[in-house]
Amino acid sequence: MSLTTKITPAAFAPPAAIPRWSRIAFIVGVLFSIGAAIGAFMNWTQFLRSWLLAFMFWLAPTLGSLVLLMLQYVSGGNWGRFGRRPWEAASGWPMALMFICWLPIVVGMKTNILYPWTAMDPKILGEAKAAYYLNPTLFIIRGLIYFAIWGALAWRLRRWSHEEEAGKTTPAAAVSIENLSGAGIVLYGLTITFASVDWVMSLNPTWWSTVWGMLFMVGQALTAFALTILLLVQLSSDKPLEGIFRKDHLHDFGKLTFAFVILWAYLSFSQWLIIWSGNMVDEIRWYLDRLRGGWQTIGVALICFHFVLPFALMLSRNLKRNRRKLAAVALWLVFMRLLDLFWLIEPNFHNAKGEVEFHISPLDIVNFLAVGGLWLGIFFWQLNKRAILPVNDPQFVEMLEAKHG
User: For 84-127, what is the HEC assignment?
Assistant: HHHHHHHHCHHHHHHHHHHHHHHHHHHCCCCCHHHCCCHHHHCH
Task: Tell me the C-alpha distance between 106 and 118, whole Å.
Answer: 12
Task: Tell me the C-alpha distance between 349 and 355, whole Å.
Answer: 9
HSE of 180, CA atoms in CB hemisphere, 13 A = 19
Q: Mean pLDDT over residues 4-22, rounded?
A: 79
Is the predicted pLDDT of residue 121 greater than 70, yes or no? no
pLDDT of residue 293: 83
Q: Which of 28, 22, 11, 47 is nearest to 362 (CA)?
A: 47
Distance (Å) of CA 380 to CA 28, 210, 372, 376: 14, 37, 12, 6
The boundaries of the domain holding residue 305 are 23-386
16 located within any domain: no
Task: Tell me the C-alpha distance between 171 and 389, whole Å.
Answer: 19
pLDDT band with cut points at 50, 70 and 90 for residue 170: confident
Evaluate the omega torsion of the peptide bond into residue 205 and state whether it is cis, within 30 degrees of 0. Answer: no
pLDDT band with cut points at 50, 70 and 90 for residue 5: low
pLDDT of residue 166: 79
Task: Tell me the C-alpha distance between 8 and 25, whole Å.
Answer: 30
Task: Tell me the C-alpha distance between 243 and 404, whole Å.
Answer: 10
Q: For residue range 303-359, what is the model confidence (pLDDT) as tens digits?
A: 999 999 999 999 999 999 999 999 999 999 999 999 999 999 999 987 766 677 888
Phi, psi of 226 (to 5 degrees): -60, -45
Work out the burial of residue 137: count CB atoms within 10 Å of its CB; fewer than 13 is exposed, 13-18 middle, 19 or more buried: exposed
228 located within any domain: yes
Contact (Cβ atoms closer than 8 angstroms) between residue 261 and residue 307: yes
What is the phi-psi region of residue 52: left when phi exceeds 0, alpha when psi lies from -120 to 50, beta otherwise? alpha
400 located within any domain: no
Task: Tell me the C-alpha distance between 268 and 311, whole Å.
Answer: 15
Task: Tell me the C-alpha distance between 194 and 196, whole Å.
Answer: 6
5 located within any domain: no
Task: Tell me the C-alpha distance between 145 and 141, whole Å.
Answer: 6
Q: For residue range 46-100, what is the model confidence (pLDDT) as tens digits?
A: 999 999 999 999 999 999 999 999 999 998 777 888 899 999 999 999 999 999 9
Average pLDDT, the chain: 89
Give the best-scoring range by mean pLDDT among 161-165, 179-183, 292-296: 179-183
401 located within any domain: no
Q: Roughly what angle, to the nearest 10 degrees, separates helices 362-383 and 93-110?
A: 150
| CB-CB neighbours of 89 under 10 Å | 24
Q: Name the pTM for this structure.
A: 0.93
pLDDT of residue 405: 42
Q: Which of 61, 150, 121, 131 is nearest to 378 (CA)?
A: 61
Is the predicted pLDDT of residue 4 greater than 60, yes or no? no
339 located within any domain: yes
Task: Tell me the C-alpha distance between 2 and 307, whole Å.
Answer: 45
Residue 400 CA from chain centroid, whole number: 29
Q: How many separate domains does the chain show? A: 1
Task: Tell me the C-alpha distance between 356 and 254, whole Å.
Answer: 38
Q: Report which residue type is found at 55.
A: F
15 Cβ contact list (under 8 Å, min separation 6):
235, 238, 239, 240, 241, 388
Question: Concatenated DSSP letters for 247-275?
Answer: HHHHHHHHHHHHHHHHHHHHHHHHHHHHH
